[in-house]
Structure 1
């Protein structure tokens, strides 16, 4: 370890360890981290007339979630106020939304986003799909427990109260961790549900696709293509529509290649007129510390342009600056 540190230096050692541990995020632990010093800098950036957003970006976009929690503790101890409350009172718009998201532990942020997607008039189905289709069994369990703790309600009850039909049943299945049925049973059930006859048996698709065992399902998809001569995604597009189609496609895409799924979601959030900021913010915040490097690589491969260039051309101001920091460079 000493020889590696000598060769690479402190920052190089951090990157080397991150690679060994499988960290594919653009946000990694800041070396020489001092939460008290960071808390004081943020306080100074907010006190008096106006706010020094550059300082807030410089600190929060370059600290891990765990480090930001320590900054919150140090801020409360030295200032006597909640950092999150102070940030909300000083910041506005999309910049505020992304900073608020960065200050939350991952399951708290997911629970927060799900609650916002459900409450009020209408439902942001895309949020429910993005989160519930892409999180692991362990992450889903943690989200459910956190949602109950933070909002005093059952996530499943809230989902059921705000959705209906087969779409509701898919979401509830994603919230339920089940054992995997036999492989041969699964691919035959998929074929019988779709390509084998006119009309679609969505319940059979639901039974198969909500199994949530990646290696198991990838083999199911291979067997399905052999027997039907069609990719499972093509069949879903032919057989379904609306939110149900979106949900099933999200499940399949996340199983096949999760970074590619998020790359596509980011692309669609920015292409054309206007930007779907809720999607852009949610993915950039949630994946910055996990697999943003892989998402960037998939984005470039899929669309021939860098994610950095897309964000730069589609956003502005401090919102753009913090997004680009989380994106982690032009390549």
Structure 2
């Protein structure tokens, strides 16, 4: 029972967010958790395991429905469904299915924890999650992180990173970003654009603290206008300026932030394309984006993918993956639009 309550006790609902949702995984109509639990029990007990049924059921239910199935399964089979799935599955399919048994916030929190635990830091994962999540998502991740790991996310991030890179991540994790306003403050937009220029290309060295405070505290619609106005001060756009001014993980973080402010779903589409087409496809990246965004905005990521790369994400998955891993990813992406 501990396993179910540990992973499923926190039902994360995306409330209060101003970002429109574009999920590919929607609540199943005519949902019956007992029937699904029975199907899964049979699939797990079948000789050789019926992976297709497990994929069919769990990729077509939302997290809250999967949670209901897990409780029904435990009542029925007298054993924990997550442990049963762990025992029945392996490899990439197991990773995806176990990821689906967590809420979006639990999944993100676990991925962050995995990126900073142990020897060395997986900066790529840390940057992707912290720099691409909205304020509401980060608030929820912090809460869940503390519940799951009995630690403060801020402390763990601070203990595992250093310098301006650490300062930027901490500023984001502190979730001080303004809420979008119906009032457009052109004076403030101009002041921020000039401040970004003066702190970078307009001075010797870079005043990173100014960049951090503007990019971690202003609302996204405000920043979109700031970056437009920035071009009237600078011969380079914001992304080019970042590349010229800072290096390493700090540069990567600022670039992810700016790309996400401008078009978050396009950022994820590009990440997926790079990961799929890189030598020895970066499965970890593909899995993380598809699992973490399937109940958030994966539908929009799919349409950005097709618009920018000339073919659907589903077709690229067919070309670059195989077996049950391919089936589970396609199940989460849904049919081509």
TM-score by length of structure 2 reads 0.88
- 1:200-245 CA-partner distances (Å, limit 9, x unpaired): 2222211111125111111211221111132111111122222111
- 1:279-309 CA-partner distances (Å, limit 9, x unpaired): 1111101111221221111112222222112
- The answer for the alignment partner of 2:78 in structure 1 is 80
In 2, the alpha carbon distance for the partners of 1:187 and 1:211 equals 14
- The answer for the alignment partner of 1:37 in structure 2 is 35
In 2, the alpha carbon distance for the partners of 1:177 and 1:98 equals 29
In 1, the alpha carbon distance for the partners of 2:149 and 2:143 equals 10
- The answer for the alignment partner of 2:277 in structure 1 is 271
Q: 1:137 aligns with which of 135, 138, 143?
A: 135
Give the CA deviation at 1:33: 0.6
Equivalence map 1:89-238=2 (5 Å)? 89-178=87-176, 180=178, 182-238=188-244
Q: Does 1:295 align with 2:287?
A: no
Give the CA deviation at 1:316: 1.0
- The answer for the alignment partner of 1:254 in structure 2 is 260
Q: Would the aligned equivalents of 1:214 and 1:255 in 2 still touch at CA under 8 Å?
A: yes
Give the CA deviation at 1:23: 4.2
In 1, the alpha carbon distance for the partners of 2:136 and 2:263 equals 19
Q: Would the aligned equivalents of 2:272 and 2:286 in 1 still touch at CA under 8 Å?
A: yes
Q: 2:44 aligns with which of 43, 46, 63?
A: 46
- 1:307-327 CA-partner distances (Å, limit 9, x unpaired): 112111111110011101112
Q: CA RMSD in A?
A: 1.7
TM-score by length of structure 1 reads 0.90
Q: Would the aligned equivalents of 2:96 and 2:291 in 1 still touch at CA under 8 Å?
A: yes
* Residues 1:68 and 1:121: Cα distance change in structure 2 (over 3 Å): same
- 1:32-83 CA-partner distances (Å, limit 9, x unpaired): 1100110111011111532110000000011111111111111112112221
- The answer for the alignment partner of 2:248 in structure 1 is 242
In 2, the alpha carbon distance for the partners of 1:32 and 1:207 equals 48
- The answer for the alignment partner of 2:332 in structure 1 is 326
Give the CA deviation at 1:24: 1.8
Q: Would the aligned equivalents of 2:115 and 2:121 in 1 still touch at CA under 8 Å?
A: yes
* Residues 1:23 and 1:208: Cα distance change in structure 2 (over 3 Å): closer
Structure 2 unaligned segments of length 5 or more: list them.
Answer: 1-18, 179-184
Give the CA deviation at 1:329: 2.2
- Matched position secondary structure for 1:203: helix
Aligned residues: 311
Give the CA deviation at 1:128: 1.2
- Matched position secondary structure for 1:49: coil
